[in-house]
Structure 1
Amino acid sequence: MKYNFFLNFIRKVAFILLKCIFFIRVEGKENIPEDPFIICANHRSYLDPVLIILIFDRKVYFMAKSELFRIWWLAPIIKAFGAFPVKRGKSDIGAIKRAIDVIKSGNILGIFPEGKRNRTKEVILKGEKGVATIVKATGAKVLPVGISGRIIPFGKIRVRIGKPIEFRNNTIDNQEIVDKIMNEIKELILK
């Protein structure tokens, strides 16, 4: 699904403004598949989902922490761009079902498998298993995305889009799936 004219206009203007503030380099756009897929990216900044929304031309439906939907001015904006709430810290069956529906409807799902922003000195945090449940239920490809750089004025930000990963064997352990995804993201960051 594409963004409507109004949202697409906002995306274009926002991208121009961000490029005036940061040096943004995007690599690997040729790796973006045509069929429905799951974007899995690392999460260090509030800017991460914005970058993904601006880079991908098709609408990305993000799982976003439910607390964001309680902020009166932010909730309508993130809903318009396709975000839906997930309760962190416990299994949110409703959010998992919604994520599966997004993929089965032919759309793109965006997930930060770390489950929260990484505020440590580690390159990447351990991933949560929810993404593996969605992968097994849908058979969707996973598109790893590594975001690196400094979120300061005139800082360099690099977004590297990796090659899609397919998990054809449904008997693979969920942790194995998550570890494979996280390792791919980490390699994209460190290259």
Structure 2
Amino acid sequence: MSFYIFARAVVRTILKPLYRIEVIGAEHFPKNGGVLLCSNHIDNLDPPVVGFTCPRPVYFMAKAELFKNPMSKKLMESIQAFPVKRGMSDREALRKGLKLLKSGEVVGLFPEGTRSKDGEVGKGLAGAGFFALRSDAHVVPCAIIGPYKPFRKLKVVYGPPIDLDEMRSNKVSAEQATEVIMAEIKNILEANRS
């Protein structure tokens, strides 16, 4: 955890002034309990930016390829990332994510699974809905509003937790839950563009 705190401070020091990052809605973020943090994905810098703007430490899923090299594996683990194979059918990653959520941690996901080419919110993968339905975690939507251009303002907007209790009790599909999450991210994005 100590390297994570150090890395987070370094990233904040460099990126916050460079991209004039404005954080909106951090007060919505639950102070306790498991949180599934779902954000749109527009740039490779999204994970560190969400990581330092989030009020609590975040465990991110990262593509398994980043864990193949021993050096990058060590770095990924030290910043609380865990591997997931593309396509979200990786049982080990799903188990790890659920375990973290159930133990009260924050798990960060980019449900689209890949970066958006045009800055618009794309279709989310079912993994987000799976975690949302299978855990009792708060589900917090987040929108990163770019572009990443030096000294141009970048916004990171956290919305209030999405109430999925009815969806959980009605046993809806993971795909349906993901659609609700993605719609909320899109609403935040559209409401805060300027």
Q: What TM-score comes out, normalization by structure 2 length?
A: 0.90
1:186 & 1:74 partners in 2: Cα distance? Answer: 33
2:179 match: secondary structure: helix
Corresponding position: 1:40 with 2:38: yes
Quote the offset at 1:188 in angstroms.
1.2
TM-superposed deviation, 1:87: 0.5
On the 8 A contact 1:39/1:108 being kept in 2, the answer is yes
Consecutive unaligned residues in structure 1, runs of 5 or more: none
Q: Which amino acid aligns with 2:177?
A: I
Where does residue 161 of structure 2 map in the other structure? 164
Residue 58 of structure 1 and its aligned partner are, at CA, apart by 2.3
Match of 2:173 in 1: 173
Q: Distance in 2 between matches of 1:116 and 1:19?
A: 24
Tell me the percent identity. Answer: 35
Distance 1:122 1:152, change over 3 A: closer
Distance (whole Å) between structure 1 residues aligned to residue 76 and residue 173 of structure 2: 33
Distance 1:87 1:12 in 2: 29
SS at match of 1:76: helix
CA distance in structure 1 between the aligned counterparts of 2:115 and 2:28, rounded to whole angstroms:
25
1:83 correspondence with 2:81? yes
Decide whether the 8 Å contact of 2:53 with 2:156 is kept in 1.
no
Letter in 2 for 1:19: K
Decide whether aligned partners of structure 1 residues 160 and 109 sit closer, same or farther in structure 2, where only a CA change above 3 A counts: same
Deviation above 4 Å: which 4+ runs of structure 1? none
State the Cα deviation string for residues 142-177 of structure 1 (Å, max 9, x = none).
100000111122122100000001211321232221
Structure 2 counterpart of 1:189: 189
Aligned equivalent of 1:68: 66
Cα offsets for 1:32-86 (capped at 9, x unmatched): 0022110000011111110111112422111111111124543222211111001
* Equivalent residue letter for 1:190: E
Residue 129 of structure 1 contacts residue 175 of structure 1 at CA under 8 Å; is this kept in 2?
yes
Q: Which residue of 1 aligns with 2:112?
A: 114
Calculate the TM-score normalised by the size of structure 1. 0.91
Deviation at 1:187, TM superposition (A): 1.2
1:103 aligned partner: 101
- Asked whether 1:148 is paired with 2:141, we answer no
Shift of 1:126: 0.3
Match of 2:30, SS state, is coil
SS of the residue aligned with 1:74? helix
- Give the RMSD, CA atoms, in angstroms: 1.6
